[in-house]
Structure 1
Amino acid sequence: MTTLPIYQLDAFTSHLFAGNPAAVVPLEQWLPDETMQLIALENNLSETAFFVPVENGDADFHIRWFTPTVEVPLCGHATLASAFTIFNQLGFAGDEIRLQSKSGILTARRDGEAIVLNFPVQPIVPGTASDAILAALSQEKPQEVFKVVSRDTDYVLVYESDKTVRDMKPDMSALGALADRGVIVTAPSDSDDCDMVSRYFLPALGINEDPVTGYMHCVVAPYWAGKTGKASLIGYQASARGGFIECTVEGERVHLKGRAVLYMKGEIYLP
């Protein structure tokens, strides 16, 4: 029997039972993809991160992320959770971790009690969404519709009012059948504590709503930076758990600042 350490953390929050939960599984060498996918399914969280040390090269670790159903090329909250684990549970001595991933080299550096992730901007292009998708989301029509270039099945719908985004109650069954992957909805904030309000629905991937999403802010932060002329913005993800992410857009990169809290640690028993 093989045992593996596992950690579960709440990311993009400073207290438990908020933000976005993620599982983290440190490895010495990769497991078969099928096994990692089964572990992610068993965990039943939006993402489980796995990483292995890199002996030589430009990175300290190689990281991968799995939802309960598929591997994804980029995930912010599970990277934040992994960095917290490496810094605070595995005794990493430095102040910056370099991570090799399917989205290139990512970094995570200490900033007081927070961690700052350096991620690539996720460009968007004008797109269209069917009337059925729009109706499954809201009776109000979006001002603009985009698609994410790197994930061309992800829609981005921009609304005029943050109340529309906050109060949205999608028909998840219909949305899961209509949208191949996910739908991001966003609007300018009406409050003083953030610049933009967003949500991310992925019923097609078995996740009705992702609570707080680093990847999504690599989409919406550059958009709102362009609209407002502000390079630094605060995003609020208006899910039931909710969470704030401090975003700074610098060229083709987005810096995402947040905290994480350890909820649980244990062992996985594999035959």
Structure 2
Amino acid sequence: MTTQTLPIYQIDAFTDLLFAGNPAAVVPLTQWLPDDVLQKIAMENNLSETAFFVPCDNSEEADFHIRWFTPTVEVPLCGHATLASAFVIFNHLGFQRDLVKLQSQSGILTAGRDGDAIVLNFPRQPITAQAISDEVLTALGGVKPVEAYVVLSRDTDIVAVYDDAAAVRGMKPDMSVLGRLAGRGVIVTAPGDKTGLDMVSRFFVPAIGINEDPVTGYMHCVVAPYWADRLGQAEVVGYQASARGGVVVCKIDGERVHLKGEAVLYLKGEIVIPA
């Protein structure tokens, strides 16, 4: 059987410490592989997301096209795997500029160097009020939120707002129930409970093969504008209270959200697939 090798990197994103933050696989390509092969690679990696990107041609506005796959599906937006991809582009692929433009299903995204950190420019994710079903409430442990919403761009993503970070930190959802729901994911969030933290959040997405995402850029495009509006400030700091944990510094800029975080290289190597 004829085979080909591809470079692969595994990056811990939204952290400056190895074995923390959110691990993402990054596979740079010279041209797109068939979608089923991309999905199989992501399934084999078994991380919350694997990012793939190819160079754009000179006529396009961006430097690279980027796509993201969970172990089971392609998703339209992923923050930590974009941060991981930018880290690879800046530090391992010889990219000379301090700002990279990425074409995606969610439009053009940018990632810029900021000292040891990288700042992502992502679209704000508006929400609208909607009650939580009894089934979801039971799966979350029966603790009723003070407010509930859905994300307009993904009308199956639920947002549950609590008034106590302890409720968010201590939540033990029934993933088997959440995984059977028509909804894609559930975000739970509350005010920050430590100095320097404006919000504490978690993101459960068993319906797409991820019980709990460790640190989520997309989610902060949902919760950061919410808390910024409530607190009356343009910049908020979020902590994602997963087992690995991670801090995301968020700045609201109209319909865009700037997400700032660091990243650490864990692995680089090659994968071997059929040619």
TM-score class normalised by the smaller sequence: over 0.9
What is the one-letter code of the residue matched to 2:51?
A
Secondary structure in 2 aligned to 1:119?
strand
Q: CA deviation at 1:180?
A: 2.5
- CA RMSD in angstroms comes to 0.7
CA distance in 2 between counterparts of 1:211 and 1:113 reads 21
- Gaps spanning 5+ residues in structure 1: where? none
- Report deviation, 1:253: 0.3
- Alignment of 1:182 with 2:185, yes or no, is yes
Aligned to 1:43: 45
* Counterpart check, 1:64 vs 2:70: no
* 1:39 aligned partner, one-letter code: I
Question: TM-score, normalization: structure 1?
Answer: 0.99
Aligned partner of residue 156 in structure 2, secondary structure:
coil
Does residue 108 (structure 1) correspond to residue 111 (structure 2)? The answer is yes
* Amino acid in structure 1 at the alignment position of 2:124: V
2:34 to 14, 32, 35: 32
Counterpart for residue 195 of structure 1:
198
3-state DSSP of counterpart to 1:220: helix
SS in 2 for 1:135: helix
Q: Does the aligned pair in 2 maintain the 1:83–1:108 contact within 8 Å?
A: yes
Q: Tell me, what secondary structure is at the counterpart of 2:142?
A: coil
What's the offset of the Cα at 1:179? 4.5
1:240 matched to 2:243? The reply is: yes
Distance 1:192 1:179 in 2: 37
Query: Is structure 2 residue 162 aligned with structure 1 residue 159?
Result: yes
Partner Cα separation in structure 2 for residue 246 and residue 110 of structure 1: 14
Corresponding residue for residue 13 of structure 1: 15
> Partners in 1 of 2:81 and 2:181 — Cα distance?
27
Spell out the pairing of 1:144-155 with structure 2 (5 A cutoff): 144-155=147-158
Match of 1:117 among 110, 115, 120: 120
Unaligned runs of 5+ in 2: none
Deviations 1:183-206 (A, max 9, x none): 000000121131000000011111
Equivalent position of 1:223 in the other structure: 226
Q: Report the secondary structure of 2:30's partner residue.
A: coil
Work out whether residues 133 and 179 of structure 1, in 8 Å CA contact, stay in contact via their aligned partners in 2.
Answer: no
* CA distance in structure 2 between the partners assigned to 1:108 and 1:222 by the alignment: 19
Deviation per residue, 1:199-251 (Å, 9 max, x gap): 00011111100000000000000000110101101000000000000000010
The number of aligned residues is 271
Matched with 1:3 is 5
TM-score, normalization by structure 2: 0.97
Partner of 1:73: 76
2:15 counterpart letter in structure 1: T
Q: Is the 8 A contact 2:158 2:183 kept in 1?
A: no
Q: Deviations over 1:70-96 (max 9, x none)?
A: 000000000000000000010100000
Q: Distance between the aligned counterparts of 2:92 and 2:132, measured in 1?
A: 44
Picking from 49, 54, 57, the partner of 1:55 is 57
Percent identity of equivalent pairs = 71
Could you tell me which amino acid in structure 1 is paired with residue 28 of structure 2? P
Q: 2:207 aligns with which of 195, 204, 210?
A: 204
Structure 1, residues 90-148: CA drift from partner, whole Å, max 9, x if none?
A: 01000000000000000000000000000000111111221111111023210111001
Bigger mean CA offset, 12-21 vs 185-194: 185-194
Residue 95 of structure 2 is aligned with which of 92, 96, 103?
92
Question: Aligned with 1:37: secondary structure?
Answer: helix
- Which amino acid is 2:157 matched to? D
**Alpha-carbon distance in 2 for matches of 1:266, 1:180:** 36
Runs (4+) of structure 1 exceeding 3 A deviation are none
What is residue 170 of structure 1 aligned with on the other side? 173
TM superposition shift of 1:153: 0.8
Looking at structure 2, the residues matched to 31 and 7 of structure 1 have their Cα atoms a distance apart, in angstroms, of 18
**Do the aligned partners of residues 71 and 106 (structure 1) sit closer, same or farther apart at CA in structure 2, a change above 3 Å counting?**
same
